[in-house]
Amino acid sequence: MTSEAGPPPQVVVLDTGGQYCHLITRKIRELGVYSEIRNSDTPAGALNGVRAIVISGGPASVYEEGSPQVDPAIFSLGAAVLGICYGQQLMAQHLGGDVRPGDHGEYGLAWLETNSDAPLFRGIAGRQQIWMSHRDTVAVLPEGFELLGSTETCPVASIGDRARRLYGVQFHPEVVHTERGRQLLSNFLFDIADCEQDWSPRDQAARIEDEIRRTAGDRNVFFFVSGGVDSTVAFTLCLRALGPRRVRGLYVDTGLMREGETEFVRGVFESLAAGVVAVEHAEERFLNALAGETDPEIKRHAIGEMFVTVQEDLLESGHYLEGNWILGQGTIYPDTIESGGSAKADLIKTHHNRVAGIQKLIEQNRIIEPLHLLYKDEVREVGAELGLHAELLARHPFPGPGLAIRCLCAAEAGRLELLEDGWLVPVRSVGVQGDSRTYRPVLLVEDPPSTPGLQMRATKLINSISGINRVVARAGAHSPVAAMSVHPAAITAARLERLRRADGLVRRMCHESGFEQKVWQFPVILIPLGTPERPDTVVLRPIDSVDGMTAQSVVMPENLLSEMTAALLGIEGVNAVLYDLTHKPPGTIEWE
């Protein structure tokens, strides 16, 4: 479904395939200015009248053949232009500068040094924390531009031509981890581009309900609900828009869920409207679909396609819904953009709501996704507007494929390699570096997770060692690291139960200690690293985020980690407990 039209956009964001393109637009709207996204190659003539143009980041290199481009005439339209990351590089290249590969990639937190009095940095000059995700860099500035800021590894972190109102930043002001990014965007919009406030992000529920009625027409809506925030809010919006006679839901117990999940979901939907959601047990079907699979993309596809198969079987049986129907989903924006949902975006990971069977339904106009332009925090705001219980809205995100993508597998055995800075573990995880997907081994350091400065060191290690995208620390183990190895493993009922016990233990301890209130999400991962007697290792991944597009690793209190580690090592088959120190980027929140 498409969003309701807003006023004519004062700001247009040109999409060059960056993972944060929609985040830029959202941040601009949060500042009260209506903005829209258009393809990067939109002709300048189609942008006449806009007050500002923002060129997004992207996964390509500007000097590569076929890389996303912009119409050079946009720089002489008279509108203010801000290039972000790839956008800065593209601006520099088109206006006579030079862009080259950097000596090192730069991913995650960095420190910007700027003492410029340029309007872009009005009120925020000086040393400040920023968020980087790039490989290339501007080597030579275009004529008329001045250098506005640098970092330790990026000499040209910001440039500007005040007379023409053209500015560029190599970092990402749109992400929450750039501490003064909101003020920088505000400076650009109001001081440089002379924009006016014409947009409010509040009161979204009524707008979405109107759009649901237009999209559904006379058709009924059927949901496969999970009990998570997204699907519950989407289901509730449809329930309010269409009424309980036209909305039905089914919770499929895949056998990949957490402890007590089915009982929790049943209770949530009974409180919304008794009898609108049924429970279907399909544990064996999903386990069979995953048998022997080790590749994360194949696993995601297998789960997504099994969802579609189960859906078709159940709907064709006629037990759950009669008449003309469409499928409702709780898909939110990060799910689509990381699946290559943007025209130029790189595939980071295939979301289970974007596999082939779902794409077919999209092409048939049989999908309704009320939340597809929203982020997790915005979904929670809508849920609060709907009056949903705070306990539900505060739940940590849990992936649709469940524990299957937190139970990592290996096709073959592998030994750990001792490097200068730690152990290279031949278990690969998914990352996002320079807006592109990576699938690389993990670096294990033997320092305790609470070692002062270890998080910053982890970031530097990822930037300096090209073959990794994640760093973990050793919290505890039954055997020394040198004695452990990776063994061939797929998803089995025994490994899933081992992970389910570990996840349940972590959730209980976090709830009882209050630590769950200090993190946005806390994935617990199982990897096939250990010894024959104890073949698996648990990885703890507590993170803080606002919307899931970026995240920071959070170190828990030493006493809680110590107690948790001892309890996890008491689970049969668990050899070690590791702690993920990686921010996003360069590592995705989930490992697969």
Which residues carry out catalysis? 85, 172, 174
Q: Rounded to 5 degrees, what angle do the CA atoms 551, 553, 556 make?
A: 140
The residue to which tokens 């606002």 are assigned: 546
**For residue 101, how many other CB atoms are within 10 A of its CB?**
12
- One-letter amino acid at 124 equals I
- Residue written as token pair 């329930």: 239
User: Which amino acid type is present at position 576?
Assistant: A
The type of residue at 517 is Q
Name the CA dihedral angle for 216, 217, 218, 222, rounded to a multiple of 10 degrees: 0
Q: What torsion, rounded to 10 degrees, do the Cα atoms 122, 176, 554, 428 define?
A: -120
8 Å CB contact between 302 and 401: no
DSSP readout, 561-587?
HHHHHHHHHTSTTEEEEEEE---BTTB
DSSP string, 236-253: HHHHHHH-TTSEEEEEEE
User: Are 375 and 333 in contact, with CB atoms under 8 Å apart?
Assistant: yes
Rounded distance, CA 214 to CA 209, Å? 9
Contact 150, 110 (CB under 8 A): no
**E strand residue ranges, 485-532:** 485-486, 524-527, 529-530
Three-state SS at 8: coil
Cα distances (Å, whole numbers) of residue 325 to 238, 304, 305, 307:
13, 20, 19, 17
Q: Give the whole-angstrom CA distance, residue 173 versus residue 346.
A: 21
Contact 228, 352 (CB under 8 A): no
Q: Do 57 and 84 touch, CB atoms closer than 8 A?
A: yes
